[in-house]
């Protein structure tokens, strides 16, 4: 331990962790130190570049508060969030794929009856969403809980507005006895992730844009099934091939079908064009043991 050099230091750090009481923590830190050191060696990181990294992480830390999680944005934009999602949600191909959670979910969104307008005043073109929650064999999952949330026509979630406006374009619903759900909302729109901080500057320096293709978030839970966290993406969006957070899955792209003014699926009439989205979700049963 008295003559470490660039070749021996990694083993010296790992040797220091042999007494860690938690075996999983030891495993994680062993791998982390090895990859971190391999990175510094591979690029021959200079002292000035190291310090730039310290400064960047400091800025990310200072940008982060109750409303803004800049470390999650960093993880998202480096593809780490999607990788962790994929590693932890392997499932049979007939099940709906998972994608990133994102930073805009809110616990305890208001409960709505089926058919309600969850937009609750959020600006956007009217959209009727319908579908079923199914098990792998195609049988319905009655009473599944669906949480939905999305950005408005200006690309913002309700929580990004200053001041108190209540929940908008988000809500909790329960599927009926046949696993069916339907609600009214607004058409999903593309939006840029918050990019007025260090992560935005990083994207800029890398020649990357901060946009996400239009999508509608779902979190679906039912007893006996794995929780499903996913989005439905709007077909035709210009950012489907360059999502800033790498969340797009082909199986999650669907058509928002436009309709002329006239009768709406809820039995009413629209004086303006409106959209419909139909999407069924297939949940993965919990492993028996």
Residues near Cu ion (CB under 5 A) are 35, 38
SS3 18: coil
CB 254 within 8 A of CB 235: yes
Nearest distance, CB of residue 253 and a second copy, angstroms: 7
Query: For 117, left (φ over 0), alpha (ψ -120 to 50), or beta?
Result: beta
| 79 part of the interface to a second copy, by CB under 8 A | yes
Nearer to Cu ion, 49 or 196 (CB): 49
Nearest distance, CB of residue 155 and Fe ion, angstroms: 10
Per CB under 5 A, residues contacting Fe ion are: 102
Strands 191-192 and 180-186: unpaired
**In degrees rounded to 5, what are phi and psi of residue 109?**
-70, 155
Cα–Cα distance for residue pair 187/182, rounded to 1 Å: 14
Give the interface segment with a second copy, choosing from 131-139, 176-184, 205-213, 257-265 (CB under 8 A): 205-213
| 88 part of the interface to a second copy, by CB under 8 A | yes
| 284 part of the interface to a second copy, by CB under 8 A | no
| 86 part of the interface to a second copy, by CB under 8 A | yes
| 66 part of the interface to a second copy, by CB under 8 A | no
The interface partner of residue 102, options being a second copy, Fe ion, Cu ion, none and the CB cut-off 5 to 8 Å by kind, is Fe ion
Cα–Cα distance for residue pair 128/259, rounded to 1 Å: 11
SS3 50: helix
Q: Which of 23, 44, 92, 107 binds a second copy (CB under 8 A)?
A: 44
Nearest distance, CB of residue 23 and Fe ion, angstroms: 33
SS3 151: coil
| 246 part of the interface to a second copy, by CB under 8 A | yes
Q: Which of 208, 226, 254, 265 binds a second copy (CB under 8 A)?
A: 208
Q: Give 188-239 as a DSSP string.
A: ---EEPP-SSHHHHHHHHTT---EE--EEEEEEE-TTB--EEEEEEETT-TT
SS3 57: helix
- Residue number of the CB atom closest to Fe ion: 102
SS3 111: strand
Give the interface segment with a second copy, choosing from 41-49, 172-180, 186-194, 271-279 (CB under 8 A): 41-49
| 47 part of the interface to a second copy, by CB under 8 A | yes
Strand partners, 134: 140, 282
| 257 part of the interface to a second copy, by CB under 8 A | no
Q: Which of 206, 260, 272, 288 binds a second copy (CB under 8 A)?
A: 206
Q: Which of 111, 138, 154, 242 binds a second copy (CB under 8 A)?
A: 242
| 219 part of the interface to a second copy, by CB under 8 A | no
| 106 part of the interface to a second copy, by CB under 8 A | no
Nearer to Cu ion, 13 or 153 (CB): 13
Q: How is residue 250 annotated by DSSP? A: G
Residues near 231 by beta carbon (within 8 Å), at least 6 away in sequence = 99, 215, 216, 217, 218, 247, 252
- Residue number of the CB atom closest to Cu ion: 35
């Amino acid at each position: 331990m008295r003559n470490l050099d660039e070749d021996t230091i990694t083993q010296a750090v790992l040797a220091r962790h042999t007494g860690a009481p938690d075996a999983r923590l030891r495993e994680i830190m062993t791998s982390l130190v090895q990859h971190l050191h391999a990175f510094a060696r591979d690029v021959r990181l200079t002292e000035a570049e190291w310090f730039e990294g310290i400064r960047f992480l400091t800025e990310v830390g200072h940008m982060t508060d109750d409303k803004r999680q800049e470390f999650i944005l960093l993880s998202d934009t480096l593809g780490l969030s999607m990788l962790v999602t994929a590693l932890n949600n392997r499932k049979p191909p007939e099940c709906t794929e998972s994608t990133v959670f994102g930073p805009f979910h809110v616990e305890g969104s208001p409960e709505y009856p089926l058919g309600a307008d969850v937009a609750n005043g959020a600006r956007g073109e009217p959209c009727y969403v319908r579908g079923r929650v199914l098990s792998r064999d195609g049988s319905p999952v009655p009473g599944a809980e669906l949480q939905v949330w999305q950005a408005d026509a200006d690309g913002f979630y309700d929580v990004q507005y200053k001041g108190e406006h209540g929940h908008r374009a988000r809500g909790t619903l329960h599927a009926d006895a046949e696993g069916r759900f339907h609600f009214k909302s607004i058409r999903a729109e593309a939006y840029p992730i918050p990019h007025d901080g260090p992560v935005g500057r990083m994207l800029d320096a890398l020649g990357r844009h901060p946009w996400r293709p239009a999508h509608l978030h779902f979190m679906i839970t039912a007893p006996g099934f794995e929780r499903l966290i996913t989005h439905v993406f709007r077909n035709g969006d210009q950012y489907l091939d360059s999502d800033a957070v790498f969340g797009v899955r082909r199986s999650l792209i669907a058509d928002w079908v436009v309709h002329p003014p006239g009768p709406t699926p809820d039995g009413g009439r629209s004086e303006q064009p409106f959209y419909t989205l139909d999407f069924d979700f297939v949940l993965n049963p919990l492993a028996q043991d």
